Amino acid sequence: MRLSNMILPVWFCLGAALSAADIKAERDVAVRMRDGVVLRADVFRPGEGGSFPVLVMRTPYGKQGKKFDAFVKAGYIVVTQDARGRYKSGGKWESFYREDTHDAEDGFDTVEWAAKLPGSNGKVGTFGISYDAFLQWRLAALRPPSLVAMSAHSIPSSLSALEGPGTIRPGRRLNWFYTGMSPDMRLRSGAEGVKAKNEAAKLWKDGEGERLLHFLPWLDLPKQVFEDEDDAVKAWLRAPHRDPWRFIAACPEVSVPNLDVVGWFDHCNDGIEIHRTMRSTGRTEVARNGQRLIIGPWSHTGHGNRKVGTVDFGADAALNVVQTQIRWFDHWMKGQAEGANPTAPVRIFVMGANRWRDEQEWPPARAKAHTLYLHSGGHANKPDGDGTLVDKPLAAASDTYRYDPRDPVPTLWSAQMFTLPADQAPLAKRQDILVYQSEALTTALEVTGYPEVILHAVSSAPDTDFFARLIDVAPDGTNRDIASGMVRARYRDGLDKPRLVTSGELVEYRIKLRPTSNEFQPGHRIRLDITSSDFPNYDRNHNTAADQNADATLEVATQTIHHGERHPSCLVLPVIAPKP
């Protein structure tokens, strides 16, 4: 059979599954690693006898209470394992801030152990989202012989892509450690402090979260935040240009196909870059041609839901992710026949139009750059100001605002601190956001790919941040976030090439926005917001020349955006032309 005919659509109709039966569970089964450390796994089996493929999920979040009935009833043995140093497993947990961990070897040994379980047919797949996906990419580069396929969802290509330019993203990271990771570390080590996640979450909500989010500097955070990983986190903060993950460099060593499901509003959607790299550099033809990517209108949680935050993207946005994974593994691990049509490597949900579409690559090669230029009479500081987006640069002008890190622009996100397609109305009265809007569209305009903003900017500070946000303005006044991006001035040439700016120096900044697909409807406006903060989603820039991970001084910066023929600040949109 030709390889192209072996690639199965991940959204084709589900074939016959095993009849529902009692599920046999074994708890805390010992799995000995090559260095003698014992990890603990739960094993779930179909109640009836037979030979089955095995699906493995390794997690640092606690294997207890996870439901895998659908996978087992579809004819799989499921293994879920506490990662090293977490909950029931032995050893010491090593976070993803470390250059070298046991994650890869532990994953290899677990896959090969699972392949030899009673009732296993010797074929193993891995699955899981976020950190569970991180653990999959760690082990994949070692190529365990029994590994057939992966379904690693929603993990970025590097630590800096997850965190931000040279520092942590405090809203997610501090909450993640304080309420999720550190309680179990304290329980295991006997350190003082809360040892239950629910107690830590209550303390965070009752005021500890606000205290920690405004703590300065990060390198002086108390050990109780990061516990046993305090040294590892702070070592990375001292040298944030390092990439301890090295996922992109490892792609040529990975030999199996992967299914990735991610969302346009997922802060982890830089994992798309792993997909792109695997398509070109994967070790085998199966790995290169077998990568599949589904991008929906979701955040980091709620993959498959039609509603995200307050926005309902319609019935077509709903996706049964578990059944999609089952169909994926049924093909690669059970050899089920392909459907009538060839499968596209990428499937995207086009927001606005609220429909799915297949693509042959990401981003679509057929997208054409459409440039809109910033213009104003010098008063673009609010939505009712005079900032506009026009088709060609007009007379030279500029807009100015003050960025005070003591009063940053607040992040509009969920109570769980995940990004959303948020209406920007709560920020309408702020003077530190420049707003540029197009005229109402007369025809639909689809933007699919990576929008880019080019700013010609002057700051009074030696270092500062610039944020850009693309917004869909509906006729009823709703201002829905579509995509955003940012640049830290000192890292404009790269994390490994820090370079301060001179006060008053005119600098060109290029801001790549996160990936998106949105069809702006007739009557809607395209809006671009420019500001200098999004806190606590991103760290506040202190506007100083000091190491901002080590210094607590905060200064106010005066920011000026120049536009016009001499300094053509602009928004570049990747536009998909409608079919004739």
Residues 467, 487: Cα–Cα separation, whole Å: 7
Average pLDDT for residues 326-346, to the nearest whole number?
A: 79
Residue 15 confidence (pLDDT) above 50: no
Same domain, 117 and 146: yes
Q: Which of residues 335, 359, 383 is at a domain's end?
A: 359
- For tokens 């199996």, what's the residue? 256
pLDDT number for residue 21: 57
pLDDT in tens, 254-304: 999 999 999 999 999 999 999 999 999 999 999 999 999 999 999 999 999
pLDDT at 147: 98
* Domain that includes residue 182, residue range: 168-238
Q: Quick one: which of 518, 522, 511, 509 has its CA closest to 438?
A: 522
Q: Which of 303, 336, 359 is the last residue of a domain?
A: 359
Given a contact cutoff of 8 angstroms between Cβ atoms, the answer to whether 248 and 273 are in contact is yes
394 band by pLDDT with thresholds 50, 70 and 90: very high
SS (H, E, C) 525-556: EEEEEEECCCECCCCCCCCCCCCCCCCCCCCC
In the predicted model, is pLDDT for residue 1 greater than 50? no
In a domain, 549, yes or no: yes
Per-residue pLDDT of 455-468, as tens digits, reads: 999 999 999 999 99
Give the model confidence (pLDDT) of 180-229 as tens digits.
999 999 999 999 999 999 999 999 999 999 999 999 999 999 999 999 99
* CA torsion through residues 185, 188, 193, 194, sign: positive
| 246 inside domain | no
The whole-angstrom separation of Cα 109 and Cα 306 is: 38
Are 479 and 374 part of one and the same domain?
yes
Of 183, 205, 238, which one is at a domain's C-terminal end? 238
354 with 424, same domain: the answer is no
CA distance linking residue 459 with residue 83, whole number of Å: 46
Mean pLDDT of 70-91: 97
Number of domains in the chain: 3
On whether both 147 and 174 belong to a single domain, the answer is: no
Confidence grade of residue 48 (pLDDT, cut at 50, 70, 90) = confident
Same domain? 515 vs 434: yes
Q: What is the domain-level CATH number for residue 444?
A: 2.60.120.260
The average pLDDT across 468-483 equals 97
Residues annotated as catalytic are 130, 266, 300
For residues 161-168, give the mean pLDDT.
Answer: 95
Indicate whether 133 and 199 sit together in one domain: no
Q: Which of 427, 419, 486 is nearest to 457 (CA)?
A: 486
Task: Give the pLDDT band (50/70/90) at residue 113.
Answer: very high
Same structural domain, 349 and 378: no
Based on the domain organization, do 45 and 150 belong to the same domain?
yes
User: Does residue 479 share a domain with residue 402?
Assistant: yes
Does pLDDT of 322 surpass 50? yes
Tell me what the pLDDT averaged over the chain comes to.
Answer: 94
**Residue 131, domain member (yes or no):** yes
Same domain for 172 and 155: no
pLDDT at 415: 87
Same domain as 285, residue 139: yes
Pair 416, 291 in one domain: no
